[in-house]
Structure 1
Amino acid sequence: MNSRRPLLFGAAIAATAVLALTGCASGGNDAGGDGGQGGGDAGPDYGLVTDGTLTICSEVPYVPFEMEGGDNGTGYTGFDIELTFAIAEKLGLKLAVQDVSFDGLQSGTTLIAGTCDMGASAMTITEERKANIDFSDPYYDSLQSLLTSVDSGITSIDDLAGKNVGVQQGTTGESYATENAEGATLVQYPGDAELWPALQAGQIDAILQDQPVNIEHEKADENYKIVEEYDTEESYGFAFAKGEKQELREAVNKALQELRDSGDYDTIYDTYFAAK
């Protein structure tokens, strides 16, 4: 989803060694209530934040990828959440979800700090992000799109001159709008939870962001429609702290492939994206 600027990475490197050592020590030895079982189930040293639990970071809500609710025990659901729940099961782990800001997650600072083991937040794999983050294999392909009200008079990105266009800060949607929405004023928001109400309130004229999220808004309110889609050849990946969690990343890739081979991935996918 997003183009990122390298935030504070140079400064964060100095702290990485200490944080990594601390995180590995706590993951392997500070077992807590379920430490014995977690260490046995995990097998390899995944360096988990909490023994026996795969802790993921995600910005909620970002429908249909992450939202509150569900019955998996985490308090959250959505495509990303259910897919990582299935991956955790493959690894013999429980799943826990931390709601964090996307900007801190995509810049790598949240992962370096050891808040979670993995980021799962509809994050596009980009070369810029790879400087600060290690990615899993791709797990979802996406498009960008332009959402506006049915009576806005906007029919394409060429109609945005003089308009206020909402984008999520630090995303590929923001990058695409910056490069292609000539004459538009881009208004940055932390996430879709702020973008959508701003459009409904008339504070912005359109939203340029990931297609699946805009589709949900289009379905929810007939006064809004997607007027254009953009193939930016985006693929989402799960994010890991740079240079850390290699065994976990390899295990996640293996589990993801197993879910594809078994058809379980398709079942989860169809729950959220099949034509209705």
Structure 2
Amino acid sequence: MKRTLSAVAAILLATTLAGCGSDDDGSSGTDSGADNGTTSSLSTIESGKLTVCSDVPYPPFEDFDDTSESGFKGFDIDIVQAIADGLELELAVKDSSFDALQSGQALNAGQCDMAASAMTITEDRQAALDFSEGYYDSEQSLLVPEDSDIASIDDLDGVKVGVQQGTTGKAYTEENAPDADIVSFPSDAEMFQAIKAGQVDALLQDLPVNLDHEKAGGFSVVETYKTDEQYGLAMKKGSELVDPVNEQLAAMHDDGSYDEIYNTYFATD
């Protein structure tokens, strides 16, 4: 009798174990959370959102816009909006100081998932940050009032030149105009106000930004400098977002959406 009961128990146990095994499709019967490479598996500081920090204003790359869903506009904003859409994430943009972004402080403190702020990829920055593939080729430039006698970087000895702290424009000025009176500002907004008020005589920074000031009237870009700079989207070291972001940038180039965004801001007749 004991043997018969033991046999029955064994059969029941085997049947129970079989029911806990794989489903017909070969997958486990428990829900593993599906780390299957879909965008839902991406870890961001706020679930379902891609939080991007940017130093605003810095037109045409980033600027405030109360009429847009994110509250911001510009080339960088359009690029990260397209990336967020492709990753099936909601875009949230935060204004942040450029120095905190390029140093890695904001990203490493968990203030944002990514920095999109016309940031040049440099070896120094790569020591603290991971970058996407380059998404924009930039040049430096010199902006002066239209009635200025300054015609080139060679005319900057003893001249007050506005630069933005922490930028490659500042580094370029220090290296190529060492006798200039270099005045650092926290952002482009303060720099432009300073040259309009006559507090500085020139601005040396990224070409598209100075071209935007030229369009406002009263100022001219008198010289440009090829520096082989590329902007990248910055993320904290070891971020799992790097590959998905690069995949989205590649897809934008393939389907033509990158060119559409680029031509919105930089196309010439």
TM-score by length of 1: 0.82
Shift of 1:120: 0.4
Tell me the residue number matched to 1:43: 40
Q: In the TM superposition, what whole-angstrom CA distance separates every residue of 1:137-160 from its partner, at most 9, and x where no partner exists?
A: 100000000000111200000000
**Deviation of residue 71 (structure 1)?**
4.9
Any idea what the Cα deviations from partners look like across 1:181-214, whole Å, max 9, x if unmatched? 1321100000101000100000000000000000
Partner of residue 232, structure 1:
227
What are the residue-to-residue correspondences of 1:59-70 with 2, within 5 Å?
A: 59-69=55-65
Change (3 A) 1:70 1:251: farther
Structure-to-structure mapping, 1:18-167, within 5 angstroms: 42-44=39-41, 46-69=42-65, 71-167=67-163
CA deviation after TM superposition for structure 1 residue 43, in Å: 2.7
- Structure 1 segments of 4 or more deviating over 3 A? none
Answering whether residue 257 of structure 2 is matched by residue 264 of structure 1, we say yes
Q: Secondary structure at the match of 1:43?
A: helix
The one-letter code sitting in structure 1 at the alignment partner of 2:40 is G
Distance 1:150 1:121 in 2: 28
**Alpha-carbon deviation of 1:47?**
1.9
Q: Cα deviation per residue 1:218-268 (whole Å; 9 max; x = unaligned)?
A: 0111x210010000000000001122x22x111010011001100000001
Matches within 5 A, 1:6-17: none
Q: Deviations over 1:30-80 (max 9, x none)?
A: xxxxxx9xxx97332x22011111000000000000001165411001000
Structure number with higher helix proportion: 1
Higher mean C-alpha displacement, 61-70 vs 133-142: 61-70
1:67-107 deviations in Å (ceiling 9; x for gaps)? 01165411001000011001110011110001000001100
Rounded Cα–Cα distance in structure 1 between residues aligned with 2:62 and 2:70: 12
Query: Quick one: distance in 1 between partners of 2:38 and 2:124?
Result: 35
Query: What is the TM-score of this pair, normalised by structure 2?
Result: 0.85
1:106-155 CA-partner distances (Å, limit 9, x unpaired): 00011000000000000000001100010001000000000001112000
Equivalent residues of 1:143, 1:230 under 8 A apart: yes
The amino acid that maps onto 2:159 is: K
Aligned residues: 234
Structure 2: distance between partners of 1:79 and 1:242: 25
Aligned to 1:194: 190
Asked if 2 retains the 8 angstrom alpha-carbon contact of 1:41 and 1:93, the reply is: no
Q: Which residue identity does 1:125 align to in structure 2?
A: I
Give unmatched runs, 5+ long, in structure 2. 1-32
Let me know the Cα RMSD of the aligned residues: 1.5
